[in-house]
Every structure is written in C-alpha cells, then in structure tokens.
Structure 1
Amino acid sequence: MSSKKSSRVGVHSKLTVVSSKPFGPGNTHPLSALDHALALHTLHVIFYYEDNLFQSFDLNPLRESLSEVLSLYPSVTGRLSRADNGNWEVKCNDAGVRIFRAKVGVSLHEWLSSADESEERDLTVWDDMPQDPTIWSSFRLQINEFEGGGVAIGLSCPHMLADPTSATLLFKSWAETSRREPIEHPPFFNSMALHGRPVPNVNTKSAEYYAAKSKAQASSLKMASATFKFPTSVIKQCLSGVHQDCPDATPFDFLAAFFWTRVTRVKGPKNGSAHSLSICTDFRRLLKGSLPFGYFGNALHFSMLSLEGGEMGQGELGHVVQSVHSHILGMKEEEVWSVIDWLEAQKVEGGKFAPPFRMFGPELTCISFEHMIVPSTMAEGSARSSSIHAMFNKDRKPVHASYHVGNVEGEGLIVVTPSTEEGFTRTVTVTLPEKELAELCEDQSILRLEPTMLLCGKR
C-alpha cells in the first residue's frame, strides 16, 4: 500500500448521508449462504469523470439525490450485526453512508498514466471491518477532485454485502435519481431467493469444485495490478483471427483465453500437465427470471476450466478461445443451485454458516462483465454498457471505471470490463505476484496489440 507521506491524495473532510425516507426500526436483512462465503473479500469500484460534476465542488445537489436514492437501499444505510444463530445480517437502522472528500495533487490524465494500483487504493476506503461493526458504515464513498477538473468517485464495501453488479447498479440508480429519471433496475432485497432447495443436489461438478476450493491453501506473495485498454479495432481484429476456431467468440472469450495463455507462460511449467482457470460470471440472467437483475447481494458463480499443457501454446489460441466460449455457453442453472445447496449443507448445529474461504483464488481467476453489455442500435456491430455508463449529466460518461477485489491471493486475478466507450473496447486489469506482473507487462504478444497502459505506474 502506498505511503501516506508520499500520497497524492489528501482526504480533507468527512460527512454522513442518511436516506430521505427512514426505513423504520426493527427491520433486518439476513445475508445468504453465498454472501457469507465471500466474507474474506472486499469490493472497490471507482468511476472517473473528466469534468467536475459539482460546480466548484458543491456537493449539495448530489448529496440530496444520494439521500433520496438511499431510501430504496436500506441495507446500504444499515449496520452489520450477528443474528442469534451467529450469521451475519444487516440491521436496517438508517444509520447512513460515510462520505470522504479528497483532493488529488495531479490532473486526471496524469493520474491515469502515472499512478499504480497501490496508489489508486487511496481513491477508495480500505478500512478493515472492526470486530464490532454495529456502528461502522459498511458502505463508504470517497469523492476525489483532481487538479484542473475531473473527479473520481470510489465506492467500498465488504464483498458479502454486494457484488460488482450490485455496486454498479447502486451507483447507476444514484445517477438516474440525480437526473430525475426512472430507476431502470430497482433494487430487490430477498436473500431467501437464493436459499437451498428442499431436495438438495450436491452431486455436480460445481459443488465438487467449491468443496475443494474451501480446503485449498493460497500463497501470500505480495500482489500488484496493471490495467490494459484495447480499442474496438484491435478486438475486432483479434476476433477475426480466431474466427475459424470460434466464429461466435465474444471479446471476453478472446481476452480471457489470451491473458490465460500469457499468464501461464509467465508462471512457467507446472508439476502437472493441466492448466486451470476459474471463471467468475454473474448468474442473474442465467436463472431465467427467478432472480431480478436488480437483486442486491451476491450472484456470482465460479466454475473451473482445465486444459492440457499442449492446448495452451500460442499456436492453439483459437482452441483456447473456443474452450472458454463453450465453457460459458454450457453453464447450466442446476450448477448454480447445486452450489447454493452445498453451501447451505455446510451449516453447523444451530444453523450457523461455515467459515468463509478464498473465493477469488487460490487458482487463477477471471471475472466476466459481459452481462452488463446491451446491443446498441446506433451502429452495426457496436455495443454499449447499460450499467457501467453511470453519469450525472447526459453528456458526462465516466472516462474509466476500475473494479478491485480485496484480499486476492494465490495465482492471481484477471478482470475483463467493458469500456465506457461505444464498441468492443475492453479494459483488462491483471493482479499477479509482483515479479510475474512485471514480466507480463513486457510480454511481446500483449505489446503487439498496442494496449493503452493505465494505472501501471509508468511515470
């Protein structure tokens, strides 16, 4: 983590925003089995804007709209506590959300080209949850103003309270409220929607994978991150190059396969011949209407794809892309429900959930955000993101969005995110042990695609 002495981010004030319509005392929101399983991790989302959204940094208009939208999110303004059975729940007591205001000592564009992941952490709050969280704001916003204009808004929370989709839709709802527009995806709070079934099924590959994951040990090497941005023209060219092997490949299919092969090369030979990639996807739309897209909580599914060493060579990239594509296309609803059944089955006497385990690890993990893309009618073959384009004015899309997961250990993490631009532009954030990341940033196969390097510390 960057030293506070040399940090270019200085927090200068704090305040608390409560909902405009109190939810009322005595209400609680229990967390699901899947929420509990993710308790070792934290979530941090940052949206960057070129313009100052606040007219001389006057927060009042956005604070009012935030207060209004928080009336729809009682678990966001509440406080974590333990239920009688020892499980986590949120007391919906309208205690509010903590907001930090900060100044950044450089321009936005200088920051994106010169800061690294450790310094970017300073744009969000990374406080550890205290032993007694009953008076601790679990959702924290940090609003950072850059020199010469530009703002970054960072949102932090324990991962067990929200996944990236939930966090993004919260931000989007705030933006829609600020613009006096209807909220496209109203929040849906019902952890029982992901409850184990009366007749459980734990005899699936997914249940076996989670059982193995819960016992696995991860290394604790120091990790570092770098972000690569690939324009639409490059992605289209790459998809064309693998068209013969995978004619329906998505940008995620290609980038997941490509970075998997490059990271594998950096890591070198393994004791076994097989290489594995844990693919993390959002299953809201997979459940075919039984779970609204606005579900607030965790709806992530981890599945394992393994290939033999010979299949991972550079000449076989099209085959790897097809393998990723087929794996995602072959995901079934039953696999998701079997994991929930398995997590419920791990309860001890009294109904307390089992201890959490490393979900983002120990194997190399790749997160897909392709579910946030909707087709655009503006141009043939283009796409835009309905979720990531959170904006407070019609003409002010964020210039960049960062998603980070805390407490990632083991082989590493690859996050493939749709860009805020139109088309197939994607950003790929890779978190690896420091030495491996330095080598990956010099990988000639990656550099030949001429990515824009963001937040890589290239001063």
Structure 2
Amino acid sequence: MTMLERKSRVNIHSKLTTVSSRPVGPGKAHPFTALDHAMGLHSLHVVFYYKANIFKDFDLDPSRVSLSDALSLYPPVTGRIVRNGDGNWEVNCNDAGVRIVRASVGTTLDEWLRSADGVEEKDLAVWDDMPEDPINWSPFRIQVNEFEGGGVAIGLSCTHMHADPTCATLLYKSWIDTHRSRSVVHPPVFSRSVIQARPDPNTETSSAAYYAAKSAARAPPSEKMATATFKFSHAAIKRRLMEISENCTSATPFDLLAALFWTRVARLKVKAEGNDYSHSLSVCTDARMVSKENGKPVPLGYYGNALHFSLLSLEQVDGCGLGHVVREVHCHVESIDEEWIRSSIDWLESRKGEGGKYGPPFRMYGPELTCIRMDHMIGPSGPLTYEAGFGEEAEPIHVSYHVRSVEGEGLILVMPSPEGGLARAVTVTLPEKELAELSKDEAILGLDPTFLLSGSVRY
C-alpha cells in the first residue's frame, strides 16, 4: 500500500480556540522584520512525545488554564496577520486566540515511533497554509494527540514568519513553566534593534552575496522526499570525536555529524550522477548567541526569526577524509561573526521598494543541502527541549522538528537528545531513494544509531 493510499491513523475529533487570560490593550501591533518576511514561504512544526497520559480531559484540564496564562506573555501569538500602511505584514494583537485541535491515534505510542514516518508524522500537526486574506486565520495551532493505551503527542505549528525553532520551543516551554508554577526562564523579548538594518549598512560581503544568490535561485525539479531520525549516544559520539581528534581537537558533535552526513550524501550523489564536482553545504545557525545588542548577546528569548544561513563549499567532499571535512565545518562555524549576520540583515532591508515594502519571500532552506545547528539549546542542566515536562514523571521522550516547503538537496537537523551530554538526534529529509541508501550506510551505522519515525525507509 502506498503512502497516498494509506489511511491516516490520526482522527481529529474536536477543535476549539484558547485566548490569553489577560486581554491585550487596544491598538497593539507586532511588525515583522525583513528576515521574518523572507521566511514567509515556510512553516515550522514541532511534536513533543510523552509516555505519560498527561491529560485526563484537556477541555477541563489545568494545562489549558496554564496555556491561557502563558499566552498572555505572547500577544503576537494570539493575534491575526494583516497588512500595514507600507504593505508589509504585521500582527494585529487582538487576542483572537490560538486554534486547539484534539485527535486520537489508532495505535500505541511505541508502535507509532517504530512504524510511522515523517510524512505520517505530519498528521500530528495538521496545518492550513496562510490564505490570501488571513484576517481570520490563526497563525499558531496546537494539536493534542492521544495514543491507544496512554501516551500523548503535542504538535505545535506556526508560520515561519512568526518564529524559528528556538522561538517556538521557548513558547512551548513557557507553557510548561507556567503550568508547573515556575518562573518563565526565557520570557519573550520583542526588541527589533538587532534584526534591522544599520544606519551605515554593509551589503558587500559574501554573506549578503549568498542571500542574493539564494533569492534568485530557480526551484529545482520536485522529488518525493522522505524523513527519518537517527539518535546517536553520548558514548558513540565521544568515541568518534576521539578518532578524528588529530584533524580537529576542538570538534563538536555538530561538526562531526554535519560532516558525516554531508560526506555520505555527497557520496550517494557521486555514485548516482557519476560526477565528482564541488559540493556546498548551507549551514544554518542561530544568531542569538552571536549578534550583539549594546555589547551583549541577543537574549535567547528573542521573539521572531534569528536564523543565519551561510555557505560552505569544498572542491571535493566524497573521498577527502571525514576528519578533513570535520575541520572545515568547525572552522566555518567558528568564523561566523556579527558582521556576517548584520550584513545579511542589511541586504534583506535593502530589498525594500518604494513606500518601504519588503521584498518577496524566497526559499531560505535550499537549494543546497542545508544543515541546522541547535547546540545553543543545551543549557547547564541539559537540553532545554527536554525540560518541557508537565511533571517530574512527564518529560518528553522525543521531540521532532520539521520545516515545510524545503526544496533542493535536502535538510539535516542536528538536535539535542534526551540522553544529554554529547548525544544528538539527527532528522534527515532527502529524496526517498537517497534516504533509503543513507540508512544502510556503513559509516553512519558504525555509530550504532537508533532509528525513529522511519517507517518508509527500507534497510
């Protein structure tokens, strides 16, 4: 049975709207930045999986009350998107509310994690694309999915104009902190000063040139894509880092995994196409810990998009040695500085037309293979992603991240793992045939990964 023929195991049975517990004052608006506008073709989806049956009845559960309290910190989340006088998008903070969807899943949680794939996982975070007139459209959706025999998956979806993975994660964690009567550790910060053009802009950088090339790139032929998640243990990553330490003594788990998957994907492309040409990797990092505001890093709670895309190109990737590629990835990541980031913002702002209207959005993820680095989400006590527990015995066992409308060679997300330490979870979206081959790759299997949500992949 094909994916198109398979009946969904997720059954949506009710919808409601949740508003903030404290009304928003009249006339409040949240303008989107040039970077927010550039992300307009994409949407973001995060799914938190829980073994525990954390809800008895969500309609009456205290968690819904705490969600309303948390939403009072985020007026843009409960508002509606409108055009302002310049023709740009902004949020009318009118507290129209967040759509809540409830669903049941016709299988157990363990069976779902074994047998579902990235396509089916989308059913846990059903999404309606933004209509031409979004005045009544909720830009955020929360879907509560209950599995047979216990267990819950909560899907958070939003337009990428509103939030990047860090922002969406901290919004969700604010709900958890509020539910557990704890202080919100990273409250939202709505300052726009850093993510705006400077009085003396600089668009003559390689960073700005890359954004310009990305905006002009033609969409490649569409292919059927598949997604799988590989989980690597602390011990396996530590062992491999020691093995390549002669090449790069300060390599991080991201450097290793980005280089490993890049080289193996490049090998597949050389094998399929018969060409040994230069290869490029688009490295996506979070600018919050690099950009400065009054000499200090931008707060982790900055609300909106703070992603930066940079291009790493090598004449040869396949066959030149993993340690060499790890060193190149490490040096590239370390070289990303405030000027790179600010110049890309300067370029985005320079696209304004007459009257101040921003340029149209374009595919930020692609056409090159894109790798997202989320190391900044690991705090002193472990991954912030996995601190989103509704109680001491109700921590998430897995968190999935997906970006939609990705085009080109594919997407790799290197995320924290619940094990902590050097352990990482890597979610890979590639053309279906490539992913099936990659999942049998000896170099990757040598790190003893655990596979999740890879039901369409044949090993």
Shared fold (TM-score, shorter chain, > 0.5):
yes
Query: Contact conserved, 2:32 with 2:89, CA < 8 A, in 1?
Result: yes
Do residues 322 (structure 1) and 322 (structure 2) align? no
Structure 1 CA distance for aligned equivalents of residues 415 and 297 of structure 2: 26
Do residues 238 (structure 1) and 236 (structure 2) align? no
- For residue 354 of structure 2, give the secondary structure of its aligned residue in structure 1: coil
Corresponding residue number in structure 1 for 2:51: 50
Query: Contact conserved, 1:226 with 1:455, CA < 8 A, in 2?
Result: yes
Corresponding residue number in structure 1 for 2:356: 351
Judged with a 3 Å threshold, the aligned counterparts in structure 2 of structure 1 residues 325 and 225 are, in CA distance, closer, same or farther, namely same
Corresponding residue number in structure 1 for 2:446: 448
Residue identity matched to 1:438? A
One of 250, 265, 268 as aligned partner of 1:266 = 268
Residue identity matched to 1:328? V
Query: Contact conserved, 1:113 with 1:458, CA < 8 A, in 2?
Result: no
Corresponding residue number in structure 1 for 2:125: 124
Query: Contact conserved, 1:419 with 1:427, CA < 8 A, in 2?
Result: yes
**RMSD, matched Cα:** 1.7
- Give the CA deviation at 1:373: 1.1
One of 247, 250, 270 as aligned partner of 1:248 = 250
Query: Contact conserved, 1:312 with 1:320, CA < 8 A, in 2?
Result: no
Note the alpha carbon deviations across 1:216-264, whole angstroms, 9 max, x for none.
Answer: 1232222111111111111111111111111111111100000000111
- For residue 280 of structure 1, give the secondary structure of its aligned residue in structure 2: strand
Structure 2 CA distance for aligned equivalents of residues 439 and 272 of structure 1: 19
Corresponding residue number in structure 2 for 1:413: 411
Question: What are structure 1's unaligned runs of at least 5 residues?
Answer: 377-383
Report runs of 4+ in structure 1 exceeding 6 Å deviation. Answer: none
Query: Contact conserved, 2:264 with 2:318, CA < 8 A, in 1?
Result: no
- For residue 161 of structure 2, give the secondary structure of its aligned residue in structure 1: coil
Question: Mapping of 1:325-404 within 5 angstroms?
Answer: 325-376=330-381, 384-404=382-402
- Give the CA deviation at 1:458: 6.0
- For residue 310 of structure 2, give the secondary structure of its aligned residue in structure 1: strand
Do residues 306 (structure 1) and 313 (structure 2) align? yes
Corresponding residue number in structure 2 for 1:113: 114
Name the % identity: 61
Do residues 296 (structure 1) and 298 (structure 2) align? no
Q: TM-score of the superposition, structure 2-length normalised?
A: 0.95
Residue identity matched to 1:338? S
- Give the CA deviation at 1:436: 1.4
Structure 2 CA distance for aligned equivalents of residues 96 and 2 of structure 1: 34
Corresponding residue number in structure 2 for 1:72: 73
Structure 1 CA distance for aligned equivalents of residues 403 and 92 of structure 2: 25
Note the alpha carbon deviations across 1:21-44, whole angstroms, 9 max, x for none.
Answer: 011221110000000000010000
Judged with a 3 Å threshold, the aligned counterparts in structure 2 of structure 1 residues 272 and 441 are, in CA distance, closer, same or farther, namely closer
Residue identity matched to 2:256? F
Structure 1 CA distance for aligned equivalents of residues 289 and 178 of structure 2: 25
Structure 2 CA distance for aligned equivalents of residues 26 and 272 of structure 1: 58
Residue correspondences, number: 450
Do residues 172 (structure 1) and 173 (structure 2) align? yes
- Give the CA deviation at 1:266: 1.2
Judged with a 3 Å threshold, the aligned counterparts in structure 2 of structure 1 residues 4 and 187 are, in CA distance, closer, same or farther, namely farther
Note the alpha carbon deviations across 1:78-127, whole angstroms, 9 max, x for none.
Answer: 00111121111000000000000010111111100100111000000221
- Give the CA deviation at 1:307: 1.0
Q: TM-score of the superposition, structure 1-length normalised?
A: 0.95
Note the alpha carbon deviations across 1:136-156, whole angstroms, 9 max, x for none.
Answer: 111000000111111100000
- For residue 67 of structure 1, give the secondary structure of its aligned residue in structure 2: helix
